[in-house]
Amino acid sequence: MKANYKKYILDFKRPSGTSRGVLRHKETWFLILKAEGKLGIGECGLFRGLSVDDVADYEDRLQWTCEHIQLGKAKLWEKLKAYPSIQFGVEQAFLSLQASDPFQIFPSDFTLKVAPITINGLIWMGDEAFMLEQVREKLANGFNCIKMKIGAIDFETELSILKSIRQKYGSDTVELRVDANGAFEAEAALSKLEQLANYDLHSIEQPIKQGQIDKMARLCETSPLPIALDEELIGIADVTEKEKLLQTIRPRFIILKPSLLGGFKGCAEWIMLAKKHQIGWWVTSALESNIGLNAIAQYTFSLGNLMPQGLGTGALYSNNFDCPLTVEHGKLYYQNHKKWKSNLIEELCT
């Protein structure tokens, strides 16, 4: 077996705002395996500024992985615990290599019978007019679950947007989620959550910055709005530490991003613990290309979670890879009559 890797820069069609700044480009890496005339591909979805493995020796570790590919998926996964995005790429690449179709790594009704995954419509930060335009577009396209990023513009304006949605659509028609990406100051967070709770929100993701364990625990205990942990999970690789975090904070939900949490195996550990402690969960992509998104979507369908999932970001990029994934009426489909470019993996090898 031989392995190599390739860097790829994804370009946003339109700069996309978060509380951590405006995104114009997204760096990602592909791990490509060759064995007995077959090819496999996995995406190492590094997220600069967020991934715990955003470190100086990242490319060196990718090279090390290629040089030690004979160790196999399980041993490599254990040795790469400090590099969760590479763990994810390794899992995908081996599954891809072993599959009859390198892009169908979890064959199911999703890939074989065009059974859909319900997803949320994502509203990016911007001025009020831009955000309301996105809301109208998502509702017109059949989404009944909308996730709005908040925390970068004036809070009163964000409340006004939520109010305008609720004046037209009740919670029985449209489920609203918000994601603060840790933007609130801990001392002011409860007051803001109390105001947000007036708009019948499903939940808020990561209201304060990760690492403030005691403050987040108190917030989860007193908040009138269900809290979902997102960034809080990043960088915790040990199962015992994962359980300790959940037992201490006791969130209502956790958000699983395979690229940031050690791939499918890392997410499986979180799911096992969430079920044990009666905590809800759903899966979210983390701005991967369509190659990584495809793998995450197939994995997500296999889990049987019927809640709206956080998938379907492939259309954000101008230079993404054409693929069978399509979004229609608030659902993600794998249109198996559509094909991946026949020599896509070979092209990425060069």
Domain chopping of the chain, boundaries = 2-103+343-349, 109-334
CATH, domain 2-103+343-349, list 3.40.50.2000, 3.30.465.10, 3.30.390.10, 3.60.10.10: 3.30.390.10
Query: Is 0.85 topped by the overall pTM?
Result: yes
pLDDT at 77: 97
Smallest CA-to-CA distance from 299 within 267, 322, 336 is with 267
CB count within 10 Å of CB 60 equals 10
pLDDT band at 79 (very low <50, low <70, confident <90, very high): very high
Q: Which residues are tagged catalytic? A: 149, 257
Query: Nearest-5° angle of CA 153, CA 250, CA 123?
Result: 25
Average pLDDT, the chain: 94
To 10 degrees, the CA torsion angle through 106, 111, 115, 120? Answer: 70
Q: Which range has highest mean pLDDT (17-21, 130-134, 201-205)? A: 201-205
Tell me the fold of 109-334: TIM Barrel (3.20.20)
pLDDT at 18: 61
